[in-house]
Amino acid sequence: MNRQYTGGTVGFGVDQALGLLRQVPLGGLNDHMVIDVMRKTLASAGIDMQVLMDAAALREDEVTGEIVRLQNEISTLHQAIEEKTAEVQRLQEQQEEIGLLRDRFER
């Protein structure tokens, strides 16, 4: 998952594009203009935007797969916790019964 996807220029890939995007103050009226300038600047630096977008799609698929894998792992762990909790409860009930047995028969 740590592969470098390049967009045409060595050393510039999805991680670098994300870093650049994080540094740009978005949320204003001119967001489309800012993104357009960024897009043109990257293209003028020799970065193939289609290659970068393809790499971003691959990265997104990898991230989605990792999320699904971790969610499945969490689900499995929750199930194991439920099973162990039920086992502890059963043993605690058994322990209580044994205590009652000992209390009644030791008199």
| φ, ψ at 75 (rounded to 5°) | -60, -45
Structure tokens of 97?
């019964």
* Residue 99 in domain: yes
Give the pLDDT score at 10.
56
Domain count, the chain: 1
Please state whether the predicted TM-score (pTM) of the whole model is above 0.75.
no
* Residue 60 in domain: yes
Rounded percentage of the chain residues whose pLDDT exceeds 90: 69
* Residue 7 in domain: no
* Residue 59 in domain: yes
* Residue 1 in domain: no
Domain holding 33, by residue range, is 14-105
Is the pLDDT assigned to residue 78 strictly greater than 80?
Answer: yes
